[in-house]
């Protein structure tokens, strides 16, 4: 008697997991760069500074990537005969990163900076 085979992992789930991790690392690195720049040179991130614009655009790319990862994770949950582990993990990481970015934005707005 042979053991039953498990269904394969969802490709959408694996993509969701990978994209969410890469975007989370990108976001964490960008926040670290901003903190280091503001700490070392307080006027380095003015509104008109090219570096501030570059970091802001990269942060937007990270947010869009997290939204895409969340969509992929949700899509993977609706696939039949596929394992859902990576889809759930990708969705959790994407939502956690988006909530963290939103909290950071709210904190920054409350501080008036």
Band (pLDDT 50/70/90 cuts) for residue 84 is very high
Indicate whether 113 pLDDT > 60. no
Indicate whether 48 pLDDT > 60. yes
Residues 6+ apart with CB under 8 A from 29: none
pLDDT of amino acid 86: 96
Q: Measured between alpha carbons, how far is residue 60 from residues 27, 39, 41 in Å?
A: 9, 23, 23
- pLDDT tens digits, residue range 24-42? 999 999 999 888 888 888 7
* Mean pLDDT of the 40-55 span: 81
* CB-CB contact of 87 with 69 (8 Å): no
pTM (2 d.p.): 0.87
Average pLDDT, the chain: 91
């Amino acid at each position: 008697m042979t053991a039953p085979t498990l269904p394969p992992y969802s490709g959408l789930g694996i993509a969701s997991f990978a994209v969410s991790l890469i975007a989370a690392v990108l976001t964490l690195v960008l926040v670290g760069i901003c903190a280091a720049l503001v700490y070392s040179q307080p006027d380095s991130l003015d509104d008109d500074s090219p570096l501030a614009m570059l970091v802001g655009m990269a942060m937007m790319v990270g947010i869009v990537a997290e939204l895409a990862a969340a969509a992929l994770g949700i899509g993977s949950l609706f696939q039949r005969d596929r394992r859902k582990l990576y889809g759930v993990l990708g969705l959790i990481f994407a939502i956690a990163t988006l909530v963290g970015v939103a909290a950071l934005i709210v904190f920054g707005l409350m501080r008036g900076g």
